Chain A
Amino acid sequence: MNAIEVTDLRKSYGDREAIRGVSFTVAAGEVFCLLGPNGAGKTTTTEILEGYRSRNAGSVSVLGLHPAERPRELREHVGIVLQSCGLQEDLTVTELLMMYRRYHLRERDVDELIELVELGEKSSARARELSGGQRRRLDLALALVGDPDLVFLDEPTTGFDPAARRQAWTTIRSLCQLGKTVFLTTHFMDEAQTLADRVAVMRDGAIVAEGRPEEIGGRDLRPTEIRFVLPPERSAADLPELPGAEVTSEGDRVLVRTREAVAATARITAWALEQRASSAASRLRSRRLRTSTSR
């Protein structure tokens, strides 16, 4: 059974069409990622699936139920991490988890959850004393406290430093190992690539690409740029052959654009050593792949 089925979903705010006919399915146990820039319609789509927003057209089914009716059964089986969301600030981490756990028929062990999100040292701290990253981890723990089958994570790592992001990824991956279905939104290509089984790229309220992260990455993969300065009295014409690469030069500055960055770098370096050029004179700079959606 599919955990989520969306067919031709549409949503307008006044004259503005925020969601323009979006369709996708998420299989049970899958990690599905909606990838796109801010304003693409990711959160609107997510909040329609969560039951917070109404839709104008199309059909939506989540765990076989209609989210628009906000059935209690759905709320029992779904965990939600909203983009930004307040808490009862004067209660401690443990108290909050105990309180939210009580609302559910199915429960997870609170100590286990605190360990999962690595808040052990903060378990008796009040919510208002937590840092941004710690709050986000508490958000995740609160979403999991009812042992949900499906977890919505709306931009779970926005505002995190790189270390905190990697830590969050580890936690999210552990959800997959528990067999949970995860619906994730992000505007980070690397996050989608690291976590998702399947990615849908969303832009201007429509899905423009969908597939496994490698496929999406491949489609958007742009050539790596290698820049360096030529040794004295050498011109670009003296460079070794670089198959598939596009070489341009201006004076002693060379720009190589290639999809075979490792091979090209090896050849250029070997050539440079042959020319007895000092390595200090050569500068290599590569650009990481960028997704077209982050422009």
Chain B
Amino acid sequence: MSTGTHPDTWSLRRDLRLAGWQILYEQRAFWRNRARAFFSFLMPVMFLVIFATIYHGQTIRGPHGAISYDAFFVPGILAYGIIATTFTNMAMSTSILREQGVLKRMAGTPLPGSAYVAGRIGSTLLITTEMTVVVLVIGRVAYGVTVRGATLPGLLAALVIGSASFTARGVGIVRYIKNAEATPAVINFAILPLTFISGVWFHSNLSTGITDIAKVFPIRPLAHALQYAFNPFTSGSGIEANDLETLAIWLVVGVFMMARFLRRPAGD
């Protein structure tokens, strides 16, 4: 009854290919659940429209001159969108998969846990990329916000390091949340207050004390690095080294958390 033996045996190449297939299956499952797919895209777009309605036409006075508020909130919303599609989405879906026993079932198959998680991360980053493109296109078409070619490296660096950092912690944090019902509360607690002091939603001249606190956490560095790349007065490549450094440190923390989670993905 068996259809015979596969020509190959275990190898890194085969595991990478398995991770690639996993991206495909995860994507298929994601887009097939239309309500989930539509609304996870709609959230950042909706915020974009709301903030544009409130602030369109206003300007922010900066050290080099006034910039349009649009050039501030488009990257801010983009930062929020990245956090939502990577950190929030990963933490929520992973804890639900654990609760439902999907992770346990996967742990019983020969697929290495790292290949499975790599596939899920790959799928998440695809979704993040798609969301980024949608926000950038709307920002450009509707509000005329563009990134100059010169500061494009800064934008890409912030996108890549920021997404990796938030994705890793999204997976890793599940290790510390005992049940899926607690996850939304924990995630909101970890994200929402910080977005308000991190200059994601509005530009404010908050006291330096609060800004110093926000600088330690990864949300402000991501938002700020993106805003820096979008700022028409930014000179050079648009790379904000301090922000990327903080994001990179949080990426290392995230990878450690994720490694701990991967030791027993299905729980004890």
| A residues in contact (CB < 8 Å) with B | 50-52, 70, 72, 75-76, 78, 80, 82, 84-91, 95, 99-100, 102-109, 112, 126, 142, 146-147, 178
Contacts and interface: CB of A to CB of B under 8 A. Distances in A.
Contacts of B109: 75, 100, 103-104, 146
A112 to B, nearest CB: 6
Contacts of A103: 18, 109-111
13 contacts: A72-B110, A78-B108, A80-B105, A85-B100, A88-B29, A88-B102, A91-B25, A103-B109, A104-B6, A106-B2, A107-B2, A109-B3, A146-B110
Interface residues of B, number: 31
Contacts of B28: 90-91, 95
A102 B112 CA distance: 12
Contacts of A100: 109
B32 interface: yes
Contact of A72 (B25, B100, B112): B112
Nearest to B22: A99
Nearest to B8: A105
Nearest to B267: A52
Contacts of A102: 18, 21
Contacts of B18: 102-103
B104 interface: yes
A108 B6 CA distance: 11
A90 B97 CA distance: 13
Interface string B94-129: 000101111011011111100000000000000000
B25 A86 contact: no
Contacts of B3: 107-109
B104 to A, nearest CB: 6
Given A102-B21, A108-B2, A87 B105 contact: yes
Nearest to A147: B2
A85 B101 CA distance: 5
Given A104-B109, A105-B110, A108-B3, 15 more contacts: A50-B108, A78-B108, A85-B101, A85-B105, A86-B99, A88-B25, A89-B29, A90-B32, A95-B28, A99-B21, A104-B110, A105-B9, A107-B6, A146-B110, A178-B1
Contacts of A104: 6, 109-110
Which 7 residue pairs of A and B lie closest in terms of their CB atoms, listed nearest first?
Answer: A86-B100, A103-B111, A85-B101, A90-B29, A86-B102, A80-B108, A86-B101
A76 B6 CA distance: 12
B176 interface: no
A89 B36 CA distance: 13
B91 interface: no
B10 interface: yes
Contacts of B4: 107
Nearest to A71: B110
Contact of B266 (A52, A107, A108, A126): A52
A70 B97 CA distance: 21
Interface of B: 1-6, 8-10, 18, 21, 25, 28-30, 32-33, 97, 99-102, 104-105, 107-112, 266
A90 B105 contact: no
A50 B104 CA distance: 11
Contact of A75 (B2, B25, B101, B110): B110
Q: Which of B10, B104, B105, B107 has the most CB of A within 10 A?
A: B105
Contacts of B110: 72, 75-76, 103-105, 146
A84 B101 CA distance: 8
A72 B10 contact: yes
B1 A82 contact: no
A82 B111 CA distance: 17
Contacts of A107: 2-4, 6
Contacts of A90: 28-30, 32-33
B53 to A, nearest CB: 35
A33 to B, nearest CB: 21
A289 B142 CA distance: 78
A113 B5 CA distance: 17
Nearest to A178: B1
A166 B105 CA distance: 26
B25 A85 contact: no
Contacts of A51: 108
B29 A85 contact: no
B102 A87 contact: yes
A109 B1 contact: yes
Q: Which of A85, A86, A106 has the most CB of B within 10 A?
A: A86
Contact of A86 (B32, B105, B111): B105
Contacts of A52: 104, 107-108, 266
A91 B26 CA distance: 9
